[in-house]
Structure 1
Amino acid sequence: MAGSGYKELLRVPGVGRIIAAQLTARFPNGMASLAILLHVQHATGSYGAAGLVLAASSIGQAVSGPVTSRWMGRWGMRPVLTLTLSICVLSFLGLAFFSFLPLAGYVVLGLIAGLSTPPIQSAARTIYPKLVNSSQLTPLFSLDASLQEIIWIVAPVVITIVSTQVGTVQGLLLVAAVLVGGGAWFILSPEVGRVRIPRSRRGFGAVVLKPPVMLATVTGFLLIGACAAVEVGVVKTFDHGGLEAGLVLAVFSVGSLVGGLASGRVPMGPWAMARRLTIVAVGLALTMLSLNVFWLGGTLLAAGIGIAPALAVLFAITSASVKFSETAEAFGWAGTGQLIGAAAGSAIAGFLIDSMHSPTGAYLAAACFAAVALIVSVVFVRHFPDLRGRDAAPMPDTEVVPLP
């Protein structure tokens, strides 16, 4: 999609505001893990303890995603977002100020922070179909998938500077402050008040059994698992996170940003996911040939070009395959798949690094995750909806109308 096309999209009332507000509200997602890691390690002197608290937070997020997303159809977006945001902020304040806590106390607060993570992403992607016409929805998903890379480029740098140069308590307070500011901006946006999610009539979890939603969840698990393995590999390659590590990971995200913006108008047929994952798989396979900074930068730039376009397909097939009342929960399940993938990718990459005594093990893990994602998208291609010539809007909810 040309730049002028994106300008036209952003002129639609409410689109620019919702995109900016949800990106700001989700900005802490790119800071929270590092802030918790650095603070708990500083407080306890143990990376193992910090990892335990992070694991509790990740488990909380994975469990709560579909649940809190579904709640929005029962009690409304604003009440659910306000409640979860308030609890999440309090948990980060607790982590910051309760320095006397034993490890179990930090674990409990980390779990609460994860469980109460506001379902901003699910809310935003549920609102999108109500803001734009049918021809603009797929490009909007592409724009969203691309711009979220800004979070992963900027947020880790910001929180690392604050936590290491100012203090880990200040790092956690920054996370809490951005949560409040960005969350309030999103919650108070007029579009959040105008869009009401109908209450789903199906049982909890039924939506994830739909083949396209299951494929979105599984491919998201594998794709984000590959990205997490890359992150571990790059940090290990460049001495636990030197300047080169930050630059290489930034290049990876820039590739994704560019790929997403360039693919906004490309039609999404059943083979769209496979084509985009091929770019990712080939690029990650090439990383294993050399640990030279320029080689890794180049291959990860190439692999990144397929990341945001693949995520855009994931968002589009999820939206197009469910009723509007099910969209929030469906996106919640997709998010849970990605969270579990991030944890699995990091763990497997670390295991292979130790067993192979080389960072190459992490790149092998990343390439395998991407290859399996590609295989899944090929084997189950008939379950990917053909969105060429049709919009990605969710199906309208219908109900029986009694006759007189």
Structure 2
Amino acid sequence: MSSYWTLLKTPGVARLIAAQLTARFPFGMLSLAFLIHIEHVYASYGSAGLVLGAMSIGQAIAGPLTSRLMGRWGMRPVIIATIAICASSIVVMALLILPIWGLMVIGLVAGLTTPPIQPAVRTIYPKIVNSRQLSPLFSLDASAQEIIWVLGPVIATFVAIQVSSVAGILLAAVFLVGGGIWFVVLPEVGRVRIPRSRRKLGAVLKRPPVLLSTVVGFMLVAACSAVEAGVVAAFGHGSSDSGWVLGIFAIGSLVGGLALGHAQIGPWALAGRMLIVTIGLSLATLGLGFWWLAATLFLAGLGIAPAFAVLFGIVSASVKFSDTAEAYGWVGTGQLMGAALGSATAGFMIDHNGAGAAILVAAGFAALGTLIPALGRRWHPDLRGRDAGPIPDTAPIQIQVS
């Protein structure tokens, strides 16, 4: 733990982590808040899954595009513009009663303008710490972001039940605007300039570690989204138990991230961490009681933050600095497409087969997320004793003098 305190004392690290967590906090609230709100208004988990799926698809499309735009226009202009449009769309979805297709259209707009906070901060990190500190910082960041998933569902559920589902969504919009402003005014955001990439959009996916991270991230987040829908359906939108269970799920991830933060990243690292998630979710399919789900999802959570830390680390070590933001954008796209598919599939299964079917879907996604890196381990960089920093865009050229 002392190394984490040392990291937090590094100038700029603590405030960057705090600001980006605040700006991204709404996305720990919105899925559950919209799920409760739409199910309450339209009496259909399937409809809620469609709206959340549309929002996630918009986020998936935007990921690499807005990340690449930061290299052309700068971080601050892109983040400010996307915050304004995204927050406005969220408010409209909360206040207006529209047909499902209308909510899907606005949700798509909200997704397309999701502020690229995560790619921005992951691009800044290598510039404020040395290469030896980068892997622990990725682990600390992946663990700290679980605060979003610990408090977000609890706050969303509490406000939606005690006040109204509309209030829960509006509170998320307040976090988005306030946290986004805090992030863009930080000096580190102004000092780091992302070089304009000379490669075509999508060329970074030719890097096998980036593609591997994108696909495994897809499976991991699809599993988490299906779990979220299944837990809410298991306890009903009138109970706060779903928020507590999902909070415990995230606490498991926080504990796992801090415990495994210094573990060496070898070729089996990603498959091993995903196996923990798969075992926990498989056990969760055996019962829907509060304490059983809390215990098994805590176990599953132990592998989540460590898996994300590996994803970030192998991407960072495999691309040039000018391509890091786009690479993280594609990884984020994979995760958001997973969220869309996970929510939609779980919603359909809940309507036809009950809450337990959604947990089973989650276990299936996690199992695929374990199998893929196991089969593709030759694409997984071995970072044991290696620098996890990005490849420099320029390097010294050796000249032979005759």
Question: What TM-score does the superposition give when structure 1 sets the normalisation length?
Answer: 0.91
Q: Which residue of 2 aligns with 1:219?
A: 216
Residue of 367, 370, 389 corresponding to 2:366 = 370
CA drift of 1:330 comes to 0.7
Contact 1:235–1:241 (8 Å) recurs in 2: no
**What residue is the counterpart of 2:385 in the other structure?**
389
Match of 1:69 in 2: 67
| Superposition deviation, residue 234 in structure 1 | 2.2
Distance 1:129 1:253, change over 3 A: same
Structure 1 Cα separation of the partners of residues 35 and 231 of structure 2:
18
Give yes or no for contact 2:226–2:361 (8 Å, CA) kept in 1: yes
Contact 1:91 1:109 (8 Å CA) reproduced: yes
Contact 2:46 2:348 in 1 (8 A): no
User: 1:132 aligned to 94, 116, 129, which one?
Assistant: 129
Alpha-carbon distance in structure 2 between the residues aligned to 1:80 and 1:9 = 28
Shift of 1:88: 1.5
Give the stretch that moved more between structures: 54-63 or 11-20: 54-63
SS in 1 for 2:390: coil
Structure 1, residues 150-176: CA drift from partner, whole Å, max 9, x if none?
A: 111112222333344334443343222
Separation in 1, partners of 2:285, 2:36: 30
| Aligned with 1:82 (options 77, 80, 83) | 80
Distance across 2 between alignment mates of 1:115 and 1:243:
31
- The structural deviation recorded for 1:373 is 1.2
Structure 1, 228-237 or 190-199: larger mean CA deviation: 228-237
- Is the alpha carbon distance of 1:51 and 1:291 closer, same or farther for their aligned partners in structure 2, counting shifts above 3 Å? closer
Q: How big is the alpha-carbon RMSD for the aligned residues of Structure 1 and Structure 2?
A: 2.4
Flag the 1:231–1:43 CA change in 2: closer, same or farther, 3 A: closer
Matches within 5 A, 1:237-316: 237-240=234-237, 242-316=239-313
* Superposed displacement of residue 255, structure 1: 0.8
Where does residue 194 of structure 1 map in the other structure? 191
* Unmatched runs of 5 consecutive residues or more in structure 1: none
Q: Which amino acid aligns with 1:65?
A: G
Output the amino acid matched with 1:27: F
Give CA-to-partner distance per residue, 1:176-217, whole Å, 9 cap, x none.
221221001100100000100000000001112210000000
How many residues are treated as equivalent by the alignment?
A: 398
Contact 2:49 2:344 in 1 (8 A): no
Identity %: 61
Instruction: Give the letter aligned to residue 369 of structure 2.
Output: A
| Distance (whole Å) between structure 1 residues aligned to residue 314 and residue 110 of structure 2 | 30
Structure 2 counterpart of 1:118, which letter? Answer: P
Segments of 5+ residues of structure 2 without an aligned counterpart are none
CA drift of 1:111 comes to 2.1
Aligned position for 1:8: 6
Does 23-32 or 391-400 show the bigger shift? Answer: 391-400
Match status 1:321 vs 2:306:
no
Match of residue 57 from structure 1: 55
- TM-score scaled by length of structure 2: 0.91
Task: Give 2:231's aligned amino acid.
Answer: V
